[in-house]
Amino acid sequence: MAATSATTFSIGSTVSFRSKGSSFPQAKPSAARFTSQNSVASFSGLKATTSLNCETESSFLGKESSAALRGSFVTKAQKATQRSQYGLQIQASYKVAILGAAGGIGQPLALLVKMSPLVSDLHLYDIANVKGVAADLSHCNTPSQVLDFTGASELGNCLKGVNVVVIPAGVPRKPGMTRDDLFNINANIVKTLVEAVADNCPDAFIHIISNPVNSTVPIAAEVLKQKGVYDPKKLFGVTTLDVVRANTFVAEKKNLKLIDVDVPVVGGHAGITILPLLSKTRPSVSFTDEEVEQLTVRIQNAGTEVVEAKAGAGSATLSMAYAAARFVESSLRALDGDGDVYECSFVQSDLTDLPFFASRIKLGRKGIEALIPSDLEGLTEYEQKALEALKPELKASIEKGIAFVQKQPVTA
């Protein structure tokens, strides 16, 4: 791609940048634009230079983060100029595997991850129909190489050398089906896939999407323990969709600018175990008791809202893919050395008397750097009662997952 003396590159992706204390605010779609004053002979899709102009917030970029991003790139660019006449260069150097890539969540998730400037290799696995998905995505002119893997015989090769594994594999919910109804089918799927992860990329970040997450994350933990490779800092239940929904619904209810809204969501990822902490909403906003109850119930039942609206044609696939892509991007940024990455996730935790609990976490190169307890301090009476009410159900789901693996030991 030839360029003249002033060259502008617009990268319209789902790149996620955020500031400390935010649970990843959302924003209107746009792009981060990188401008060079040098003559550039070619452009790989990743190169950027010393001048960063955030014309407006990207789809994953808050206004406070825009300033932080600008400052971060300026600092890096000053160092990079010593090495390259073009200044800052973003390097795609991470391998991501999506297990269940031909499904309703897997396909849009694969597209969004393909757009990340941090991904060098995108491995797509499923038991069927993944070759066409990979061929389709490979035509997108973003730098990551897309490879397809079909069936159990190719699963090991799919996972070798991978940095982040995302598991959306499983059957979707249908009308009248609870997340618990999915257990027997999805439990076996997750167990089998995590066994392969343990054998081929035990150091990878593992993102569990397959429902019921309250049980499948403990299943994954038990499998990894039996394989002798369990690192609780690298196993995540993806509950980002609950945060995305909470932010959206609160912004709509209170007529707030969506990019500014941040609602932490704790507990688990099903029904009453989903607890949005509306009293901790940023910016600070007041709710009537009726609004708190209405919003809480809607956030908890939002998945059912989509299932019913699709009338048997599927569950929440697009919003889930969006939320999962956001969590993938946060993980990649943490792996890349960003010291300011925070998300809510269902992880091994000591914040409550439960062994697993969803809360805000700080991500780093080695996974979870810290659990953030402040969100659980100073809860309202409604939130405190809801927290105590969710514990028995969440405890039962966790124990169900653990018992499943203990009754069916993993293969050596």
Quote the tokens at residue 308: 């019913």
Which of 115, 145, 108, 110 minimizes the C-alpha distance to 32?
Answer: 115
68-76: long-range contacts, CB 8 A cutoff, minimum separation 24: 68/17, 68/19, 68/340, 69/17, 69/32, 72/338, 73/48, 74/50
Q: Measured between alpha carbons, how far is 291 from 289 in angstroms, rounded to an integer?
A: 5
The answer to whether the CB of 278 falls within 8 A of the CB of 295 is yes
Residues 400 and 268 sit within 8 Å (Cβ to Cβ): no
Task: Report the 10 Å Cβ neighbour count for 129.
Answer: 13
> Which of 123, 139, 207, 269 is the catalytic position?
269
DSSP strand pairing (164-167 vs 265-267): unpaired
Q: How far apart are CA 140 and CA 134, in angstroms?
A: 10
Establish whether 269 is a catalytic residue. yes
DSSP secondary structure code for residue 141 in this structure: -
CB distance 363 to 369 below 8 Å: yes
Question: CA 57 from chain center: how many Å?
Answer: 19
Torsion of CA 314, 164, 328, 230, to 10 degrees: 90
* Total residue length of the chain: 412
Find the Cα–Cα–Cα–Cα dihedral 328, 334, 337, 342, rounded to 10°: 130
Q: Which helix (H) or strand (E) holds 157?
A: helix 152-159
Longest Cα–Cα distance of the chain, Å, equals 67
Sequence-ordered list of residues with C-beta below 8 angstroms from that of 407, at least 6 positions apart, any chain:
none
Cα dihedral: 349, 170, 121, 31 (round 10): -80
Residues involved in catalysis: 269
